[in-house]
Structure 1
Amino acid sequence: MESSSAALPLDALPHPPGRLPILGDVASVDRHRPTQHELKLAQGGLGPIFQRKLLGTQLIIVTGGRLAAQCNDETSWGRVLLGPLAKIRPVAPHGMFTASSKDPLWGQARRILTPGFTQAAMRTYHDAMASVADDLVTEWASAGGAGVAVHSAMTRATLEVIARAGFGRDLRLFDPVGQGSDSHRFVRELGRTLQWASESTNDLPIIGDVRAALRAPGVRRDIASLQCYVDELIADRQHENTSDATDLLGLMLTATDPETGERLPADNIRDQTLTFLIAGHETTAALLEVALYHLAQNLDYQDRVRAEMPAQTTDLGYDDVVKMRFARQFLNECLRLWPPAPGYFRIARTDQNLGGYRIPAGRAVFVLALAAQRDSDVWGPGAADFDPDRFDSAALRAFPDRFFQPWGTGPRSCIGRAFALHEATLMLGRLVHAFDLATTSTAPLTLRERGTLRPDPFELTARGRSVATTRG
């Protein structure tokens, strides 16, 4: 690495055209699709590193794959909580993804919960995940080949998976007469909170302050209601006195930290439960929606997923899901092009030379994974194309410098990665086994941003296939 003393100052970084005195780069702000706009700026020639200023506040954006990888070096860079995650912090102040790295509770929670994400634990969760897939197939079959609302279905399915597998609770989100239930209200309040977190992070100065003040009472009510819902869920579990439970909630209520011998405080159990409900459903729902869109666009992909499944059955066992190699490649390609978490902040531990620019110690940069994972310098000239076969083990050897970090980086990376991939693979397998999927529109995939990248609501047609229902 070049010496930081030989690097250019931050003010020398390229910036979007149209910068105004005092106001800065207001013309380059898109509060509804901020990271997608930054992707376009990078592809328009500003990358692999550039700056954006608003009223003197400078954001450094890293879009090149090699520079992004440099920022992941834990000896020189660390995690910092900024952006939408910081806005979500009032919902779960000491959750594993929202707590400060100096907060001992995040490490204590991670150590206590790590056994809940082993292969043995995944086996115990499988049947609960499969029960949700069954409910989803039943609901889509009842549509009789008419259009199905993918966004609503994936929201409910992923929340149910977390609740049934992780907390031993059926939220009844597939109950057709339960639209006014507390669980459905929770879904609506959670959606509003995530939307607020994203838009307020990227709001314009002054105008954003006024907008934030007007929305504050409603935001506080939603957060209080979300917390109350989870408190009741935890209280119900405690009243059952299931002290031998080994699911996620059982671990939080009964297990001790192997380092300190302490249990999680009651308020932290709420924070961790909310963290799993928010992060565990939103990111997986986003992944599944992108995957279903691409499956519906290409019948060959549906056939290839079906070909990996046991013949004459709808009963996918744990080992069956693990063996679905192409489905995993397919999901990885969805994560590469449209990572649900489009980026993350990193902070320099010491002065750094990043792409020829001096990043002082204590300065944060935003790693735009959405751009770095499409960088043709590390993924080849076809980096913008959707191609699941690029994740074949032989093909990957052609990309030794590839950048692929959809789960974050370092000790604070996503603890639920194996859970999410198993869930998503199982869901896709069950859906393509039961249905021929097709689009109801020729419109391209468009994504909204509310802390995550998630497709705008769209419909698919799911026409039932003639399949056996028991193992032959």
Structure 2
Amino acid sequence: MKNERSASPLIRRDLPHPPRRVPLLGDITRIDRYRPIQNEMALAASLGPIFERKVLGLHFIYVTGARLAAQCSDEKHWERALYGPVLEFQRFMPDALFVVDSDNPLWGQARRILTPGFAQKAMRSYHRAMQSVADDLVAEWSAGDGVIDTYSAMTRAAGEVIGRAGFTRDLGLFHDAPDSADSRAFIDSLGDLLRMASDAGLALPIVGPLRRRLVEPRVRRDVEVIHSFSDRIIAERQAHPTDDEDLLNLMLTATDPETGRRLPTDNVREQVLTFMAGGYETTAALLESVLYYIAADRELQEQLRAEVSARGGFDHKAITGMRLIRQVLNECLRLWPPAPGYFRRARTDQDLGGYRIPAGQMVFVLALAAHRDKDVWGPDADVFDPSRFEPDRLRGHPDRFFEPWGTGPRSCIGRQFALHEATLLIARILSAFDLSTDGAPLVMRERGTMRPEPYQLKVTPRAGR
């Protein structure tokens, strides 16, 4: 996508576009303000693997085919670009890992310092904290009435995992604790900011600036809440140092192997926010999708439960060996990636599907659509089928495109953390409960991430668990 008043003269004029284009207004009649990403995926079915739309002088290019999306992942010819909702986050965390520009020295410094925090040795140290959250979740559900608000439960579980594993801090999201009220206020404010960033990043000219002025007081209040919460976590650790092997100590004490420098304190705040914002929202979204599909398929549920039982426990080795659960996670990430796409900028003039994309032009790689490309994933690409991630079947799709974590050096640093956490939580839930839903369809909403509309999960404790 490129925010410009007129299309570049180098772009061929025959790029496919939605029908019934209106003079001056462009393709405004084909916009879905509430589910824009899913709307673009639907357009891809008729317009093909690359298309454009023009709206009020803005020019947008979408890449929805798997092979073209893979071409845009080539770091030699393409680079990351910031635009839309992610760019909005720069307003209140400008140097956070997931929004800072790649040419900012702080990005490389933070990435090098934090990378060891997601190696296997570090993951083993986080495992016990993740287990404690799983135990609290099971205890809460066992004491309840059997009807679970999945949105609340998964939000609190993912947030608490970040708190306990990343910062060695009980946030009190499952019981009353000193941090409970502040933690809930933090989660609420961060959720508000995600929603407002999504709205602002996708807003149309004229309407967008007016809406931003209306919500600006609320934005300032929410930013103050999340900054104060993060600053307190950091200040308390600085006042009472520990030898905990967690992300917070890594941020505060580790040095960059290239420069020998530590992260500035104000940047530590932004990295704390990075893992809270990126970690809880996307993982919660994934867990909600997984629970829905498992609850809707009794046979799959029993297969997963058999795998859990066969592993004989929930230690680190057992969880890393639960391959079938990982296949389910991957299939949900394929169908409903919480980050449904990303922006790329051409480093040099490119031939993309027969269309010339000039140097500097941005495109939006719609992973949500490319993950479902029938040309590379097969005619049943829209069908939920975890077995497609079995090694033998994957070899049958050599051109498959699967990038739910982004691409290149700016891909998600915490992917292994999220996958291990999700595997453990799903395994513990399956060991303790039979799951079912009321049969309502899964509906996805968009607020910067792709996440299910809140739904109720029915859980029945298993005898002798």
| Amino acid aligned to 1:168 | T
* Coordinate RMSD, CA, aligned: 1.6
CA distance in structure 2 between the aligned counterparts of 1:295 and 1:91, rounded to whole angstroms: 38
CA distance in structure 1 between the aligned counterparts of 2:33 and 2:102, rounded to whole angstroms: 28
| Amino acid aligned to 2:88 | K
Report what 2:6 is aligned to: none
Q: CA deviation at 1:88?
A: 1.3
Report what 1:384 is aligned to: 382
Q: Find 1:450's aligned residue among 424, 447, 452.
A: 447
Instruction: Check whether the contact 2:185–2:225 (CA below 8 A) recurs between aligned residues.
Output: no
Is 1:172 matched up with 2:169?
no
Report what 1:298 is aligned to: 297
Q: CA deviation at 1:180?
A: 7.1
Q: CA deviation at 1:176?
A: 5.7
Instruction: Check whether the contact 2:296–2:439 (CA below 8 A) recurs between aligned residues.
Output: no
Q: CA deviation at 1:153?
A: 0.5
CA distance in structure 1 between the aligned counterparts of 2:464 and 2:115, rounded to whole angstroms: 38
Report what 1:374 is aligned to: 372
CA distance in structure 2 between the aligned counterparts of 1:458 and 1:91, rounded to whole angstroms: 31
Report what 2:106 is aligned to: 105
| Amino acid aligned to 1:173 | L
CA distance in structure 2 between the aligned counterparts of 1:39 and 1:16, rounded to whole angstroms: 12
Q: CA deviation at 1:199?
A: 1.4
Is 1:144 matched up with 2:145?
yes
CA distance in structure 1 between the aligned counterparts of 2:232 and 2:354, rounded to whole angstroms: 53
| Amino acid aligned to 1:248 | L
Partner of 1:309, secondary structure, is helix
Instruction: Check whether the contact 2:170–2:179 (CA below 8 A) recurs between aligned residues.
Output: no
Report what 2:321 is aligned to: 323
Show CA shifts across 1:383-417 (max 9, x none): 01000000000111110000000010001111111
CA distance in structure 2 between the aligned counterparts of 1:389 and 1:178, rounded to whole angstroms: 45
Go from structure 1 to structure 2 and tell me whether the alpha carbon gap of 1:359 and 1:59 turns closer, same or farther (over 3 Å shift): same
Report what 1:273 is aligned to: 272
Show CA shifts across 1:7-28 (max 9, x none): 9834321111222111111112
Is 1:289 matched up with 2:288?
yes
Partner of 1:61, secondary structure, is strand
Unpaired runs of 5+ residues, structure 1, are: 1-6
Normalization by structure 1: what TM-score? 0.94
Report what 1:206 is aligned to: 206
CA distance in structure 1 between the aligned counterparts of 2:177 and 2:100, rounded to whole angstroms: 38
Q: Percent identity?
A: 58
Q: CA deviation at 1:310?
A: 3.8
Partner of 1:448, secondary structure, is strand
Instruction: Check whether the contact 1:245–1:251 (CA below 8 A) recurs between aligned residues.
Output: no
Q: CA deviation at 1:278?
A: 0.3
Which 4+ residue blocks in structure 1 deviate beyond 4 angstroms?
176-180
Q: CA deviation at 1:178?
A: 8.3
Report what 2:4 is aligned to: none
Report what 1:342 is aligned to: 340
In the comparison of the two structures, how many residue pairs are matched? 457
Instruction: Check whether the contact 2:125–2:245 (CA below 8 A) recurs between aligned residues.
Output: no
Show CA shifts across 1:32-77 (max 9, x none): 211111011112x112001111111101000000000000001000
Partner of 2:74, secondary structure, is coil
Normalization by structure 2: what TM-score? 0.96
CA distance in structure 1 between the aligned counterparts of 2:155 and 2:211, rounded to whole angstroms: 28
Instruction: Check whether the contact 2:311–2:321 (CA below 8 A) recurs between aligned residues.
Output: no
Go from structure 1 to structure 2 and tell me whether the alpha carbon gap of 1:180 and 1:166 turns closer, same or farther (over 3 Å shift): closer
Partner of 2:457, secondary structure, is strand
Go from structure 1 to structure 2 and tell me whether the alpha carbon gap of 1:428 and 1:12 turns closer, same or farther (over 3 Å shift): same
User: Map of 1:318-467 to 2, 5 A cutoff?
Assistant: 318-439=316-437, 441-467=438-464
Instruction: Check whether the contact 2:172–2:179 (CA below 8 A) recurs between aligned residues.
Output: no
